[in-house]
Amino acid sequence: MAYYFVRVHGNTSNNNPNKANCYVEGEPPEYPNTYFNYYQFCLDNNIVRIGYPDIGDLLIGNKANALTTNCHDLNSIGPHWRGCLTSFSRIPLNSIILMPNKDRPGELYLGKVTKTYWYYHNVPTVPYECSHRLGVNWDRDNNGSPLRYWANDLAIDIRRGWWRRPFCEIKDMNIIKNIDIARRKNGF
């Protein structure tokens, strides 16, 4: 089983009407705000998302289904992000996802991948920034509320290392062991 860390926050350029090449009408948040944090959207919709929707469907290529034509493409975003997107699209079923809530340092949510990569948007109800996605069964309590985990409890240092990245496969066996123990305590 593989373990992945995926950030779901950032800043969008797709809501700025002054950037005609990137603009998507109705894309939240309302301009001039650009910051978004889709952790609650991901929990509510049992998904995890990653950025750069302008790339289009990664399985089809050639910016398929993208709403913009001249914003970003796989060559314009650079090798690091290109690698993140490609790796994200290949995350296998049953992998474990760690999703932080940027607005509460150290808070994170865990879940298991139940559906492999697909590309979907329906602005404004399904934000363009949430186009690259995986289905995730988030850990929940008996009432159906998402379980909140804390980085400190899992021995994850939020000041450095992979926690600061937008996406990363977790390979530290001590952290993986701590994740498994925490999930088992909650019945997963």
Residue 131 has pLDDT above 90, yes or no: yes
Peptide bond into 105 cis (omega under 30): no
- CATH code (residue 18): 3.10.590
CA pair distance 149, 108, nearest whole angstrom? 5
pLDDT at 62: 87
Residue 169 has pLDDT above 90, yes or no: yes
Asked if 34 and 12 touch (Cβ cutoff 8 Å), the reply is: yes
Asked if 114 and 101 touch (Cβ cutoff 8 Å), the reply is: no
SS3 percent helix, strand, coil of the chain, rounded to 5, is 25, 25, 50
Residue type, 44: D
Helix (H, G, I), strand (E, B) or coil at 13: coil
Residue type, 100: P
Angstrom CA distances, 25 to 11, 22, 82, 144, 149, stand at: 16, 10, 26, 34, 36
* pLDDT tens string 38-90: 999 999 999 999 999 999 999 998 899 999 888 988 888 989 999 999 999 99
Peptide bond into 32 cis (omega under 30): yes
pLDDT at 70: 86
User: Whole-number mean pLDDT of the chain?
Assistant: 95
Percent of the chain with pLDDT over 90: 89
pLDDT at 152: 97
Helix (H, G, I), strand (E, B) or coil at 98: strand
Which structural domain, as residue segments, surrounds residue 168? 3-185
Percent of the chain with pLDDT over 70: 100
| Residue pointed to by tokens 């949430």 | 130
pLDDT at 81: 92
Do the strands 3-6 and 96-100 form a parallel or antiparallel pair, or are they unpaired? parallel
How many domains in the chain? 1
Residue 167 has pLDDT above 90, yes or no: yes
Do the strands 107-119 and 167-170 form a parallel or antiparallel pair, or are they unpaired? unpaired
pLDDT at 72: 87
* pLDDT tens string 91-123: 999 999 999 999 999 999 999 999 999 999 999
Q: What is the CA radius of gyration of the chain?
A: 16
